[in-house]
Amino acid sequence: MGQIQPSIAHYYHERTKYEPETIGAKSQSIDWATQPVPFKEYKIGKSFDLKPYLKSEPTLSENPSTEEWWGRLSRLLLCSYGLTARLPTISGEDLYLRAAPSAGGLYPAEVYLISRGTSVLPSGIYNYQPKTHSLLRFWESNAWQTLKTACFSDPVWEIADIALVTTAIFQRSAWRYQDRAYRRMCLDTGHLLGNIELAAAINQFRPYLIGGFVDEGVNQLLYLDSQQEGGITVIPLVDLLAVNLNLPASRTVLPSPTQTEYPKIRDGELLEYFHKATQIVELLSPTEGLTNAIEDKYNFPFCLKVSTACETINWAENLSQLEATILNRRSTRAYSGAEIEWDELKAILNFTYQPHHYVAQGLDAHPDYFALDLIETFIAVSGVNGLEDGCYYYAPQARELRQIRFKNFRRELHYLCLGQELGRDAAAVVFHTADLKKAVAKYGDRVYRYLHLDAGHLGQKLNLAAIYLNLGVSGIGGFFDNQVNQVLDIPTDEAVLYITTIGKLIS
């Protein structure tokens, strides 16, 4: 009797790990001449220019005019995925930066908008065009019911009039990162989701994340070539200025099958195979019920415990400073190596993990995630004034750091982050992990998407809080997976999802 193979999620994770012995083989030379264009173009369609609505000051009146509604939608899309800078390059081609960070500046995500059909926005399917900050309506018929059916008819569809759909164009990221690109595409989409959460709150919309849907139903609705591009999330947007209804929280996830029978998959084909293997074809469990409550997992005996209670960041009236931070955000390329303050790290953690502390400022107390109860946070502290060096577990419910190891990890972090000086010179390095075996048992292989989407979502909120405090911050998706667990002494069952470095900028 043959031995049962691990699930395809486990198999994919193991196959795409970076190891010191094989990193050279997996980091093949890059053919810059074949880099995919990060903008999608359509030959036909009607364009709705969103730029004119950015000229006036935002208004959030209880009875918004048509122009005010367009202004809110325009700002939401700009802060979610709009262009924020244009940089010249050696090749002569300009590099366009966006509000959401992307590994290698590749921007694999696409954003679509589906309208039910209102007096303001005609029914149909639109693609958001960041380069011109416009909506291109490429399909005019009513697609709302089809999208609703693909998402198993959640009650939110009855009160929403528009929905966003995010997809990933695989080759944009695989061109550089090969099969490991699936991790990065989901992390990049998570960054986008973090922006959508906050930009929606600024503009009085409530996004409802849906990660469990019939994949081919969504792909066909958007006329996608499913070998090149696939739906990742669906997000109905409820207009809080038009709907006076407190909807109960929706279920954001559904399980997929767990696949343990699969062929030998060649390098270069693993990403596409894995994405298809995690698709949902039919409803496998009832839609009622929510993701389990988050619990603090690790409580080490006799360990040092440090409270993270602190004052909230003041984002100013109408969250104007949050909007400015989103649009001014840049990933840091180098740190000075100097210390940051303990109060600064506490404020970053508070904004990221304690959203209910920001209700008075207009943010959502319980924003949607997919499998946040399965994600753990560890922090390697190398230069925080007022906090002992070492590795800590962050307990969000108790709001405290629990020390695991007493050591300065600068040298090891330099090594773990593939020799990037960001790891060495950062004051604190945040690791998001998950018990992959437990996660797959709960949600099937599709959970791999959910975990990386959530890790990117958290990472983006860490980014914005750090930027506001005039600190440097940068996410790292390339690292020696197994060695992270060994060096930080975290359980081997914890799969490392994402690393975020935080430090002092070079003055």
pLDDT digits (tens, 9 = 90+) for 37-92: 999 999 999 999 999 999 876 666 666 789 999 999 999 999 999 999 998 877 77
Mean pLDDT estimate for the chain: 93
Q: Is the pLDDT confidence value at 11 over 90?
A: yes
**pLDDT attached to residue 95:** 87
Instruction: List 429's β-bridge partners, or say none.
Output: 380, 501
| Residue-wise pLDDT tens digits, 440-472 | 999 999 999 999 999 999 999 999 999 999 999
**1 — pLDDT class (breaks 50, 70, 90):** very low
Q: Where in the chain is the domain with CATH 3.40.109.10?
A: 45-242, 305-503
**381: part of which helix (H) or strand (E)?**
strand 375-381
Query: 497 Cβ partners below 8 Å, 6+ apart?
Result: 183, 187, 375, 432, 433, 434, 451, 452, 455
Cα(64)–Cα(75) distance, rounded to whole angstroms?
15
The length of the chain is: 507
3-state class (DSSP) for residue 453: helix
Q: What pLDDT, on the 0 to 100 scale, is given for residue 27?
A: 55
User: What is the distance between the alpha carbons of residues 446 and 285, in angstroms, rounded to a whole number?
Assistant: 14
H-helix or E-strand spanning residue 481: helix 481-488
Residue written as tokens 């997809």?
167
Q: Cα-flanking dihedrals φ and ψ of residue 473, to 5°? A: -155, 140
Task: Look at residue 64 in the predicted model and tell me its pLDDT.
Answer: 72
Q: Which two tokens stand for residue 265?
A: 């998959």
The pLDDT tens digits of the residues spanning 115-174 come to 999 999 999 999 999 999 999 999 998 899 999 999 998 889 999 999 999 999 999 999
In whole angstroms, give the CA distance from residue 436 to residue 311: 34
Encode 52-96 in three state secondary structure.
HHHCCCCCCCCCCCHHHHHHHHHHHHHHHHCEEEEECCCCCCCEE
Reported as a pLDDT band with limits 50, 70 and 90, residue 433 is: very high
State the Cα angle at 466 between 464 and 467, rounded to 5°: 65
pLDDT for 320-336, tens place per residue? 999 999 999 999 999 99
pLDDT at 317: 95
pLDDT of residue 184: 98
The pLDDT confidence band at residue 491, using thresholds 50, 70 and 90, is: confident
Confidence category of residue 287, pLDDT binned at 50, 70, 90:
very low
Query: What's the order of all strands across the beta sheet hosting 162-169?
Result: 46-49, 134-139, 124-129, 109-115, 162-169, 229-239, 205-207
Q: Mean per-residue pLDDT for 185-196?
A: 98
Task: Give the DSSP H/E element, type plus range, for residue 414.
Answer: helix 410-416
For 6, which DSSP code? Answer: P
> Collapsing DSSP states into helix, strand and coil, what is residue 50?
coil
Question: How wide is the angle at C-alpha 56 spanned by C-alphas 53 and 61, nearest 5°?
Answer: 90
| Token pair belonging to 330 | 């840049």
CATH class of 45-242: alpha beta
- Please answer whether residues 168 and 225 qualify as being in contact, where contact means their C-beta atoms are separated by less than 8 angstroms: no
Q: Mean per-residue pLDDT for 284-309? A: 77
Confidence of residue 289 (pLDDT cuts 50, 70, 90): very low
SS (H, E, C) 126-169: EEEECCCCEEEEEECCCCHHHHHHHCCCCHHHHCCCEEEEEEEE
Reduced to 3 states (helix: H, G, I; strand: E, B; else coil), residue 319 is helix
DSSP for 195-254 reads: HHHHHHHHTTEEE--B--SBHHHHHHHTT--TTTEEEEEEEEEEETTT----PPPPP---
Q: What is the mean pLDDT of residues 8-18?
A: 97
The stretch 385-399 carries a mean pLDDT of 96
Rounded CA separation 98/91 (Å): 20
- Residue 93: its pLDDT value, please? 79
Q: Which pLDDT score is estimated for 4? A: 77
Tell me which residue has tokens 């366009």.
96
Q: Which fold has domain 305-503?
A: NADH Oxidase (3.40.109)
Band (pLDDT 50/70/90 cuts) for residue 476 is very high
Q: Which residues pair with 392 in a beta bridge?
A: 379, 403
Question: How many CB atoms sit inside 10 A of residue 140's CB?
Answer: 12
Q: Please report, rounded to a whole number, the percentage of residues in the chain having pLDDT higher than 70.
A: 94
